Amino acid sequence: DQQVKQNSPSLSVQEGRISILNCDYTNSMFDYFLWYKKYPAEGPTFLISISSIKDKNEDGRFTVFLNKSAKHLSLHIVPSQPGDSAVYFCAASGDFGNEKLTFGTGTRLTIIP
């Protein structure tokens, strides 16, 4: 039972354009969401998060949007840069914290120069 789903295994975007990565969840108890970025042979690194009391959180080129009614969140990267090429994981937690994160299966983003 995949409670956090990233339905696009891969995405290619031209450098300078917007990258949009999507994530859906099924568990209505989730109230805290995170995005992690992973390079090959490295562990995931935290990128940005959002709590269920917000619908948007922005940090530089990265913005996360949360639509609670649709149980959907998205990560926007503007403008996309070659260094953004990585696998992006969406994660969710049910206690407004970071215990017991449930991860999606990841989306591989490739930025085309």
State yes or no: residue 103 binds other proteins (CB under 8 A). yes
Tokens describing residue 9: 């295994």
Q: What is the DSSP string of 39-103?
A: -TTS--EEEEEEETT-SEEEETTEEEEEETTTTEEEEEESS--GGG-EEEEEEEESSSSSSS-EE
In this chain, which stretch among 14-22, 67-75, 78-86, 99-107 interacts with other proteins, using CB under 8 A?
99-107
- Among 44, 63, 75, 88, which residue interacts with other proteins (rule: CB under 8 A)? 44
Of the two residues 15 and 58, which places its CB atom closer to other proteins in the complex?
A: 58
State yes or no: residue 104 binds other proteins (CB under 8 A). yes
Binding residues vs other proteins (CB under 8 A): 34, 36, 41-46, 49, 89, 96-106
